[in-house]
A and B are shown apart, each in its own frame.
Chain A
């Protein structure tokens, strides 16, 4: 409810630049939220999530160049690409954990980056792809900021709903079980690799849907969208927002991108601010901004109950 009201208000009040900026926050936030399924619920810290997101973004951009920007087609392309890369990554990582998982996802992600960076004919190499056709839905062309923002908002809400339904379903419960007590899960007959693989597919599909929209916000996609540094940025966003909360991913991406956009206008050292916020979050709000807000809300509710 609050989210829908916020989205509507922003759509009415914000200007062109801000709407595109908010759309970017929602899209990246959706990708970070899909990472939360792996990290927060599965205990699987991946440094390759940008590869799922970025590969889907490139697939969508290339598809649009050749076949036009039909929204459903583009979304389908991104989801398929995200899930496909996730399947490859999943097949490799399902039996690993902690440090090996981190390194393997990093390496696999960098393979995707190498392909994107060197396959100039298709991806534009270091220059990326510009001049994409805008998205369209039936007779509507979604090129101005407002429809793009609303689209990103719908994507975020749908993804959030999907992620919640996943976490509440037996499969999501099994994922939590595999994080908490993997040996017991095997002793109950669960296949941990299977749980992890299916989760990778779901996370990849959601990241892929987000990736599909990403190139159309600025009609540009570049190789930094598949680089491991974006994967690391996603983890920072997730920690700031609150691991395991799902919606915190959007807060984290908002804080990070706001610092990147506004502070970088004053100083090149904006990453220091990110570092500072990160450290403060870890020290003061171990469950991130989402956890902090939730605690604040319950404290206020208690106080109101005492007064009544």
Chain B
């Protein structure tokens, strides 16, 4: 399996604080990679660097075999690299449909149109309709975001990203604050979306990560402790010491 994303020797400091130190790992075509680690380990910072929101102090990124360090966040998105945020980031004043359409139009290349392109706009609308239908949300799409429950908002947040038809999807704690059942439904939507999409999933719930991921990378104090299949990670002594602790024994 070839790698969609290769992160090589990435380091990042905030002042004197070393948020990431020599981080190296890859994400393979079609896999789900779990990214775990205690709060403050640098997971979100790593997402910010991968997506171009932050520049690394050292190291580089290859995406689809190409160096992308010079690309702006928008250009990375246009190549299929899509992220969500730890905090839900929807458009609260707009309807569910309009929230997802914002992404679907951009994907169809008509995000900034004023007039014309009726066919592509129609296709984007149809895509939105389909995403809402497939999601299992029992919503027509005409509801304002602020009228939805938190769990539903997080699902729409995910649908917005899926509307971009990502090649690499980076999910920053999408299941935080959700009930077990809601979290499972959300991950099911991700998995059923497109088997070719590679996913990097940050989550704190160990059961979710070990159940949903093909491989897991463990980050601690800005360093990759270990990266491998769930069995390998579970057995790793340094991971047990730093993070899993009693969890893995139980």
Which chain A residues have a beta carbon within 8 Å of chain B's beta carbons? 165-166, 169-174, 176-177, 180-181, 183-191, 194-195, 198
Q: Which residues of B contact A166 (CB under 8 A)?
A: 114
Q: Which of A169, A180, A198 contacts B93 (CB 8 A)?
A: A180
**B90 is an interface residue with CB less than 8 A from chain A:** yes
Q: Is B105 touching A170 in the complex (CB atoms < 8 A)? A: yes
Q: Is B111 touching A174 in the complex (CB atoms < 8 A)? A: yes
CB distance from A123 to the nearest CB of B (A): 34
Give Cα A191 to B75, complex, Å: 10
CB-nearest residue of chain B to A182: B89
* Number of chain B interface residues as a range: 20 to 34
CB-nearest residue of chain B to A167: B114
Q: Is B91 touching A180 in the complex (CB atoms < 8 A)? A: yes
- Contact pattern, B 69-88, Cβ under 8 Å of A = 1, otherwise 0: 00001100110001111000
Given A173-B98, A177-B102, A184-B85, A190 and B115 touching (CB < 8 A)? no
Q: Which residues of B contact A181 (CB under 8 A)?
A: 89-91
Q: Which of A171, A176, A180, A187 contacts B112 (CB 8 A)?
A: A171
A-facing residues in B30-57 (Cβ within 8 Å): 51, 53
CB-nearest residue of chain B to A202: B114
**B192 is an interface residue with CB less than 8 A from chain A:** no
Give Cα A198 to B112, complex, Å: 9
Not counting A170-B111, A170-B113, A176-B94, a sample of 16 additional A-B residue pairs whose C-beta atoms are within 8 angstroms of each other reads A165-B115, A166-B114, A171-B113, A172-B114, A173-B94, A173-B101, A180-B91, A180-B94, A181-B89, A184-B85, A185-B102, A190-B74, A190-B106, A190-B111, A190-B112, A198-B112
Q: Is A188 touching B114 in the complex (CB atoms < 8 A)? A: no
Q: Which residues of A contact B121 (CB under 8 A)?
A: 170
Q: Is B102 touching A188 in the complex (CB atoms < 8 A)? A: yes
CB-nearest residue of chain B to A166: B114
Q: Which residues of A contact B83 (CB under 8 A)?
A: 187
Q: Is B85 touching A170 in the complex (CB atoms < 8 A)? A: no
**B5 is an interface residue with CB less than 8 A from chain A:** no
Q: Is A170 touching B74 in the complex (CB atoms < 8 A)? A: no
Given A169-B113, A171-B113, A176-B91, A189 and B164 touching (CB < 8 A)? yes
Which chain B residues have a beta carbon within 8 Å of chain A's beta carbons? 51, 53, 73-74, 77-78, 82-85, 89-94, 98, 101-103, 105-106, 110-115, 121, 160, 164
Q: Which of A176, A183, A188, A195 contacts B160 (CB 8 A)?
A: A188
Q: Which residues of A contact B73 (CB under 8 A)?
A: 186-187
Q: Is B164 touching A184 in the complex (CB atoms < 8 A)? A: no
CB pairs A–B below 8 angstroms (23 shown)? A165-B114, A165-B115, A169-B113, A170-B110, A170-B121, A171-B113, A171-B114, A172-B114, A173-B102, A173-B105, A176-B93, A176-B94, A180-B91, A184-B89, A184-B90, A187-B77, A187-B84, A187-B85, A189-B74, A189-B106, A189-B111, A190-B111, A195-B112
CB distance from B187 to the nearest CB of A (A): 20
Q: Is B115 touching A174 in the complex (CB atoms < 8 A)? A: no
Give Cα A177 to B160, complex, Å: 13
Give Cα A177 to B89, complex, Å: 11
Q: Is A189 touching B115 in the complex (CB atoms < 8 A)? A: no
Q: Which residues of B contact A188 (CB under 8 A)?
A: 77, 102-103, 106, 111, 160, 164
Q: Which residues of B contact A194 (CB under 8 A)?
A: 112
Give Cα A171 to B117, complex, Å: 13
Given A173-B98, A174-B102, A189 and B77 touching (CB < 8 A)? yes
Q: Is A180 touching B92 in the complex (CB atoms < 8 A)? A: yes
Q: Which residues of A contact B112 (CB under 8 A)?
A: 170-171, 174, 190, 194-195, 198
CB distance from A114 to the nearest CB of B (A): 34
The 8 closest A-B pairs by CB, nearest first: A189-B77, A184-B89, A169-B114, A171-B114, A180-B91, A170-B113, A189-B74, A171-B112
Given A165-B114, A184-B85, A198-B112, A191 and B74 touching (CB < 8 A)? yes
Q: Is A187 touching B51 in the complex (CB atoms < 8 A)? A: yes
| Among B85, B93, B102, B115, residue most surrounded by chain A Cβ atoms (within 10 Å) | B102
CB-nearest residue of chain A to B80: A189
CB distance from A260 to the nearest CB of B (A): 34
Give Cα A6 to B94, complex, Å: 33
Give Cα A171 to B114, complex, Å: 6
Give Cα A164 to B178, complex, Å: 39
CB-nearest residue of chain A to B75: A189
CB distance from B148 to the nearest CB of A (A): 15
CB-nearest residue of chain B to A175: B112
Q: Is A184 touching B91 in the complex (CB atoms < 8 A)? A: yes
CB-nearest residue of chain B to A195: B112
CB distance from B71 to the nearest CB of A (A): 11
Give Cα A181 to B92, complex, Å: 9
